Amino acid sequence: MEEKERLEKMTEPLVKWYKDNKRMLPWREGKNPYHIWISEIMLQQTRIEAVKVYYERFMKEIPNIQTLASIEEEKLLKLWEGLGYYSRAKNLKKAAIKIYEEHDGQIPKIYEQLIELPGIGEYTAGAIASIAFNQKVSAVDGNVLRVISRIVGSKKDILLPETKKEVSRALQEIIPEEAGDFNEGLMELGERICIPNGEPLCERCPIRKWCVAFEKGLTNEIPVRVKKTKRTKEKRQVFVLEYQNKIAIRKRGEKGLLAGMYEFPNVLEKNNTKLEQILENWNLKIEQIEEIGQAKHIFSHIEWEMTGWKINVKEKNEEFIWVEKKEIFEKYAIPEAFRYYKNRMR
């Protein structure tokens, strides 16, 4: 059986399975394009169960595009705190402003206009266009790549952009009239049945009849992912500095990792950096010092290995922003990388 024939034959049973088995998720109610857009951005790099809480809180505070376009960035980032990849939140606001200025406050219905918005790539544009407006466009994410690779028995590296483009083209040729249900069905199948870790639940799969990997016992070999180069490891010293019940934070630069975010002062450890020298460089005099533990945080290309210090100082250094402890939890968005040290303040 040819690849195209396999894909054509699976469409109808997949859509039927999705309609019968789809999870009731808040952003699926009413096919509201704003809700779909926000949920798709949140779901990047984040599990569905984790997103639900953030989504409901976000919608309560930012129920529409007008509010999103005008919200203060610090409040937006605080609402996003814990989801990581904060550039996603910043791009939401940029896109909302563009929608207001260029599309009369209405989310564009067509793929070509959606993909021109900040933070919206090929997958997200395809998801919004097909789910909200039922446009016959594909939406290929990691789940879809895994499912389709197994269906057609492909051993091409799914981490390569050209593999994604090939899958997108193949799906574009066979996508049915119910495009949104088809795309969501592929995603749902990948999340719940054709799972990424462990044995796929093939006995529950509605399209296993057309699956090469199931037929030939290749589900452990497909999909193929060629490992990327190892992450760079950085050792960092992190400082929770306290002066008269106020905590020191600072704002990172507008470019690079965690751009524009607030953080606890920290330094890259080089050649056994002396603690005393770091504090001296900041013109800080120690009153009391305590090591508060090791923590690790993994970014896409860098891994931080951190040692934390809780230090009471005798006077403030105006280089930092000194805030009340409660503001750390209520006002300022502190990246997930520092969660361990933030929680030590409770």
Among all residues, which ones are annotated catalytic?
40
Q: What is the DSSP letter of 246?
A: E
Tokens, residue 325: 């402890």
Cβ distance 290 to 239 under 8 Å? no
Q: 251 in helix, strand or coil?
A: strand
Q: 293 in helix, strand or coil?
A: strand
Q: What is the dihedral of CA 50, 52, 55, 57, to 10 degrees?
A: -100
H or E segment to which residue 279 belongs: helix 275-281
Cα 118 from Cα 310, distance rounded (Å): 39
Tokens, residue 232: 């760079």
Q: 84 in helix, strand or coil?
A: coil
Q: What is the dihedral of CA 175, 178, 181, 186, to 10 degrees?
A: -20
In this structure, the number of other CB atoms found within 10 A of the CB of residue 336 comes to 16
